[in-house]
Amino acid sequence: MDELFDLFGNPSQPGLGQKGRPRYQATDKDRNKVKMLLALGWGNQRIANALDVSLATLKRYFRADLKIRDVMRDRLVARQFEIALEQANAGNMTALKLLDQMMDKNDRMYAERRLERAQTDDDPKEKLGKKQRAAMEAEEAAGSPAWGDDLQFGDGQTH
C-alpha cells in the first residue's frame, strides 16, 4: 500500500483504530531540513514542531547537528557562494551579478569585523587592583586644576 502524505508532504500518521505511531526514523531529507533551520537561527522547539516530532526525539536523532548549530549559518552561506559560482561559470549573467552582490556584502561584513576588532585592540586596559586604581585616581585628582590651591601646603607639595 502506498504511503499517505499530508498537505505539506509529510508522511501521514496512522489514524484511529490502527496501530500506534511507528518509531521515528531520521531521513536525509529531515537532516537537511534541520541543518537549514539551524542556519536560519531557529530554536530546538520550533524545529521539532516543523518536523512534527517531540523535542526529546529531535535531540535524540539530531544531536550531532544540534551541537554544531553555530557553524550552520557559515555552511549555508558557503553553499550559496558555491552554487552562485557554478552558475556564473556556466555563463549565467544573473548568477554573475548575484555573486558580485554577495561578494560586496561579504567584504562589507569583513571590514566591519576588522574595524570592531581594531577598536577593541587599540585600547587594552591593564588590569589594576583596587589600591593601584585608587592611588592613580588620587594622583590625577591632586593634579587637577579643579582643586586649585586646596591641596597645596606651605612648601608647595601636594599630599
Domains in the chain: boundaries: 23-67, 73-122
**Residue 141 — pLDDT band, cuts 50, 70, 90?**
confident
| Residues 6 or more apart in contact with residue 57 via CB below 8 angstroms | 24, 48
Closest CA to 42 of 28, 27, 55: 55
Question: Is the pLDDT confidence value at 148 over 70?
Answer: no
* Distance of alpha carbon 155 from alpha carbon 49, whole angstroms: 80
Whether 51 and 58 have beta carbons less than 8 Å apart is answered as yes
Averaged over 132-158, what is the pLDDT?
72
Instruction: Provide the pLDDT confidence category of residue 155 given band limits of 50, 70 and 90.
Output: low
- Decide: 60 and 48 in contact? Cβ < 8 Å: no
Residues 72 and 36: their CA atoms lie apart, in Å, by 8
Query: Length of the chain in residues, anyone?
Result: 159
Q: Are 150 and 157 in contact (CB under 8 A)?
A: no
CA dihedral of residues 84, 87, 90, 92 (deg, nearest 10): -100
Per-residue pLDDT for 60 more than 80? Answer: yes
pLDDT value for 22: 75
pLDDT of residue 47: 96
pLDDT at residue 128, as a whole number: 79
pLDDT beyond 60 at 159:
no
Q: Residue 134 pLDDT > 80, yes or no?
A: yes
Average the pLDDT over each of 29-33, 100-104, 125-129, 136-140 and give the range with the smallest value. 125-129
Model confidence pLDDT, tens digit, residues 4-58: 777 777 776 666 556 767 788 899 999 999 999 999 999 999 999 999 899 999 9
CA distances from 38 to 28, 32, 34, 51, 57 (A): 15, 10, 6, 13, 16
**pLDDT digit string, tens, across residues 66-99:** 999 989 999 999 999 999 999 999 999 999 999 9
Q: Are 5 and 12 in contact (CB under 8 A)?
A: yes
Neighbouring residues of 31: CB distance < 8 A, sequence distance ≥ 6: 62, 65
